[in-house]
């Protein structure tokens, strides 16, 4: 009898444990985007705040300077973060203008976080954000694409806490960049701007840090020496505090370490035993652990990683790890049918890169958006090269409002500083298609562009800068043009004039505004754009959308095979030119009414992807020629 009783108790405990694990796992699965949002700077003590929040929104804000001071009496909706209210995944799906959004939820801080500094972190919120903890305002951040944080330690209560977030977002303002977010009523078919993203659009999380902690590190690879240079910054570090660096292989074997006094901005060299380069064919990543050991108090541990690679320019050529490389880029706008600016899952970010590589591309121009850090993580893991670009489109790019220029400069600084450790990023592009700004005031325009060039190089001297993609080059390390000519014969003839030895004779799009070509790498960083939809899709479109292909109508009425012939002829004209250093095919997927993608908006293939791969990955003449 006693044996039976003991067995029953044991079975009950096992059953309870199984139920606890099941409930815990279900709760974890209920959190959208549960992965750590910034794997290059990860502490072990963090809590994901994604999921259901109380929510309310304001279509029109009459007085932005005062509106934030009055908290709503009622939060009349629920929203699922980190998805924006315009998205299906948020549970709301409202796509007209929203200027004010309010969020609220409860949270608790674990007991073992006592004595730590507590921070709330935001991957990104569009645009002007204020945060309260227990009715105490803890901070304001301006900018729609940058990551930011506020310390909330002094505002916390012991048992339960309340966080309120407010964001003001006016996409029509000359004070804020918007990228490809539409400035009109819900976008119609055929436009090149798309559904807006208002408010929180990346992960929100809590984090515990010691009293003294590591603020950031800049990891600079030196392939030729087989070492990394680490430049740290600290909060409250003092004389006697030590900073340690431990480098291990993916399998956990230690290959390097270093220690130095904790001092802001002083580089520390870490020599790697038997160094192994990072490249697209071998995307090898070293694991880093950074440790701040204060003279007294708790140590701070941060996990990171880096790749040992070299990207540089000689003459008109790009070199990766000292070998010439032709950049086969695709234009990726980072939009999703159900999440808009936010990928529905981490797997979706990885899948986008794999789909692009399946189509023959070795790289991407990330267009008019600061991508999530998790995208760059997967690019690092998969060996996928990218150009980081800012979301500069919108009224602000007319350079008429000083506050708008300040906002743009600050956002770009945040993007470069956050992402400069990723080995997959090989160039920066702060502006795109700036003909309007140049036409308004050419002298002032050139002054601003040069200032962004200098700012970018000051923040990251290791990468080239393509200051303004497209038509109006000023001061730039890479000369770029956009060309949607669909006639392969005239397209080829146009670029036969490009010659780094005779740069003054080379083709430029707008000679009245742009500076002449000066022998840099010459990249046609938008071409193609051959819009096409199958007949069974066009036949089901709403009335009044017969011009769905807009300016990309070359594929209208043709078969997929006929479109591929056009794409091949255009691509061959660039690949076979010994003075073209790379291209950007437009584009990766259809986005809403813009239907010039290789894939449909839902990521299903439009074309024979193997055939597309063969076109894009054909040999490039510039890789075969000697250095110029």
Per-residue pLDDT tens for 245-269? Answer: 999 999 999 999 999 999 999 999 9
Is pLDDT at 3 greater than 50 in this prediction? no
Question: Taking the C-alpha atoms of 594, 596, 599 and 603 in order, what is their torsion angle to the nearest 10 degrees?
Answer: -10
3-state helix/strand/coil string of 538-568: HCCCCCCCCCCCHHHHHHCCCCHHHHHHHHH
Confidence class for position 2, pLDDT limits 50, 70, 90 = very low
What is the pLDDT at residue 23?
38
In a domain, residue 248? The reply is yes
What is the pLDDT at residue 533?
83
What is the pLDDT at residue 30?
84
Is pLDDT at 20 greater than 60 in this prediction? no
Segment 275-293, tens digit of pLDDT: 999 999 999 999 999 999 9
Question: Taking the C-alpha atoms of 364, 367, 369 and 374 in order, what is their torsion angle to the nearest 10 degrees?
Answer: -10
Same domain, 348 and 227: no
Same domain, 590 and 529: yes
Segment 564-609, tens digit of pLDDT: 999 999 999 999 999 999 999 999 999 987 888 999 999 999 999 9
Confidence class for position 416, pLDDT limits 50, 70, 90 = very high
Same domain, 201 and 217: no
- Bridge pairing between strands 425-429 and 522-528: unpaired
Same domain, 323 and 468: yes
Same domain, 127 and 165: yes
Same domain, 248 and 103: no
Confidence class for position 532, pLDDT limits 50, 70, 90 = confident
Same domain, 326 and 350: yes
Confidence class for position 530, pLDDT limits 50, 70, 90 = confident
Segment 434-484, tens digit of pLDDT: 999 999 999 999 999 999 999 999 999 999 999 999 999 999 999 999 999
CB 350 within 8 A of CB 383: no
CATH of the domain at 256: 2.60.40.10
Is pLDDT at 428 greater than 60 in this prediction? yes
Mean pLDDT across 121-128 = 98
Instruction: State phi, psi for 169 to the nearest 5 degrees.
Output: -140, 105
Residue 495 or 188, more confident: 495
- CA contacts within 13 A on the Cβ side of 619: 5
Is pLDDT at 9 greater than 80 in this prediction? no
In a domain, residue 16? The reply is no
* Burial class of residue 451 (count of CB atoms within 10 Å of its CB; 0-12, 13-18, 19+): middle
What is the pLDDT at residue 624?
85
CATH of the domain at 157: 2.60.120.260
Neighbours of 271 (CB within 10 A): 15
Mean pLDDT across 511-523 = 96
Residue 504 or 546, more confident: 504
Mean pLDDT across 488-508 = 94
Same domain, 489 and 598: yes
Is pLDDT at 417 greater than 90 in this prediction? yes
Residue 41 or 556, more confident: 41
Domain span at 336: 312-624
What is the pLDDT at residue 552?
47
Mean pLDDT across 348-370 = 98
Same domain, 352 and 205: no
In a domain, residue 23? The reply is no
State the total domains in the chain: 3
CB 219 within 8 A of CB 141: no
In a domain, residue 20? The reply is no
| Nearest partner of 324 among 17, 619, 116, 30, judged by Cα | 619
Confidence class for position 187, pLDDT limits 50, 70, 90 = low
In a domain, residue 12? The reply is no
In a domain, residue 307? The reply is no
CATH of the domain at 386: 3.20.20.80
pLDDT above 70 coverage of the chain, percent: 90
What is the pLDDT at residue 24?
38
What is the rounded end-to-end Cα distance, in angstroms, of the chain?
Answer: 91
Q: How big is the chain, counted in residues?
A: 628
What is the pLDDT at residue 352?
98
Same domain, 160 and 148: yes
Instruction: Examine the fold and report which residue of 193, 209, 225 is the final residue of a domain before the chain moves on.
Output: 209
Instruction: Examine the fold and report which residue of 298, 326, 345 is the final residue of a domain before the chain moves on.
Output: 298
The average confidence (pLDDT) of the chain is 91
Question: Taking the C-alpha atoms of 539, 540, 541 and 547 in order, what is their torsion angle to the nearest 10 degrees?
Answer: -10
Same domain, 435 and 541: yes
In a domain, residue 10? The reply is no
Is pLDDT at 6 greater than 50 in this prediction? no
In a domain, residue 73? The reply is yes
d(CA 181, CA 200) in angstroms, rounded, equals 15
Same domain, 397 and 524: yes
Instruction: Examine the fold and report which residue of 144, 176, 209 is the final residue of a domain before the chain moves on.
Output: 209
What is the pLDDT at residue 60?
95
Is pLDDT at 420 greater than 70 in this prediction? yes
d(CA 14, CA 132) in angstroms, rounded, equals 43
pLDDT above 90 coverage of the chain, percent: 83
Give Cα 69 to chain centroid, integer Å. Answer: 32
What is the pLDDT at residue 531?
81
Mean pLDDT across 398-411 = 93
């Amino acid at each position: 009898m006693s044996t039976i009783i003991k067995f029953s108790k044991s079975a009950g405990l096992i059953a309870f444990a199984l139920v606890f694990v099941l409930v815990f796992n279900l709760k974890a699965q209920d959190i959208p985007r549960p992965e750590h949002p910034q794997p290059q700077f990860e502490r072990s003590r963090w809590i994901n705040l994604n999921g259901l929040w109380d929510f309310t929104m304001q279509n029109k804000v009459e007085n932005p300077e005062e509106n934030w001071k009055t908290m709503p009496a009622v939060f009349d909706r629920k929203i699922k973060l980190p998805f924006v209210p315009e998205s299906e995944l948020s549970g709301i799906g409202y796509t007209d203008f929203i200027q004010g959004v309010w969020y609220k939820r409860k949270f608790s801080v674990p007991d073992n976080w006592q004595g730590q500094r507590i921070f709330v972190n935001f991957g990104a919120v569009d645009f002007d954000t204020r945060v309260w903890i227990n009715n105490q305002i803890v901070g304001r951040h301006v900018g729609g694409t940058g990551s930011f944080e506020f310390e909330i330690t002094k505002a916390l209560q012991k048992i339960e806490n309340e966080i309120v977030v407010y964001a003001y977002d006016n996409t029509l303002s000359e004070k804020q960049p918007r990228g490809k977010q539409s400035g009109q009523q819900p976008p119609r078919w055929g436009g090149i701007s798309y559904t807006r993203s208002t408010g929180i659009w990346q992960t929100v999380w809590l984090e515990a840090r010691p009293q003294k902690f590591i603020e950031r590190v800049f990891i600079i690879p030196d392939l030729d020496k087989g070492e990394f240079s680490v430049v740290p910054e600290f909060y409250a570090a003092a004389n006697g505090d030590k900073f340690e660096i431990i480098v291990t292989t993916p399998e956990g074997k230690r290959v390097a370490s270093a220690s130095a006094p904790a001092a802001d901005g002083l580089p520390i060299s870490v020599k790697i035993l038997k160094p192994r380069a990072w490249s697209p064919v071998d995307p090898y990543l070293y694991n880093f652990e950074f440790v701040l050991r204060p003279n007294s108090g708790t140590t701070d541990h941060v996990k990171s990683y880096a790749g040992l690679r070299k990207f540089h320019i000689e003459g008109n050529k790009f070199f990766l790890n000292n070998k010439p490389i032709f950049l086969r880029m695709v234009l990726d706008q980072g939009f999703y049918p159900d999440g808009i600016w936010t990928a529905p899952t981490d797997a979706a970010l990885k899948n986008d890169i794999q789909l692009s590589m399946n189509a023959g591309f070795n790289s991407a121009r990330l267009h008019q958006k600061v991508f999530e850090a998790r995208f760059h993580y997967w690019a690092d893991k998969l060996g996928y090269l990218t150009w980081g670009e800012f979301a500069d489109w919108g009224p602000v790019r007319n350079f008429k409002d000083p506050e708008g220029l300040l906002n743009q400069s600050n956002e770009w600084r945040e993007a470069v500083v956050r992402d400069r450790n990723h080995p997959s990023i090989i160039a920066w592009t702060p502006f795109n298609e700036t003909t309007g700004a140049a036409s308004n005031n050419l002298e002032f325009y050139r002054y601003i562009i040069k200032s962004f060039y200098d700012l970018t190089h000051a923040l990251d001297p290791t990468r080239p800068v393509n200051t303004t993609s497209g038509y109006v080059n000023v001061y730039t390390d890479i000369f770029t043009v956009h060309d949607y000519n669909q006639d392969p014969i005239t397209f080829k003839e146009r670029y036969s004039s490009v010659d780094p030895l005779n740069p003054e004779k080379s083709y430029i799009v707008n000679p009245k505004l742009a500076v002449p070509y000066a022998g840099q790498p010459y990249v046609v960083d938008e071409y193609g754009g051959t819009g096409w939809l199958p007949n069974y899709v066009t036949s089901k479109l709403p009335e009044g959308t017969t011009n769905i292909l807009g300016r990309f109508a070359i594929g209208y009425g043709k078969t997929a095979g006929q479109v591929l012939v056009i794409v091949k002829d255009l691509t061959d004209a660039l690949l076979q030119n010994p003075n073209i250093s790379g291209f950007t095919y437009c584009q990766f997927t259809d986005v809403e009414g813009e239907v010039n993608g290789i894939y449909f908006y839902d990521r299903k293939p439009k074309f024979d992807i193997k055939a597309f791969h063969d076109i894009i990955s054909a040999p490039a003449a510039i890789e075969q020629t000697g250095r110029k």
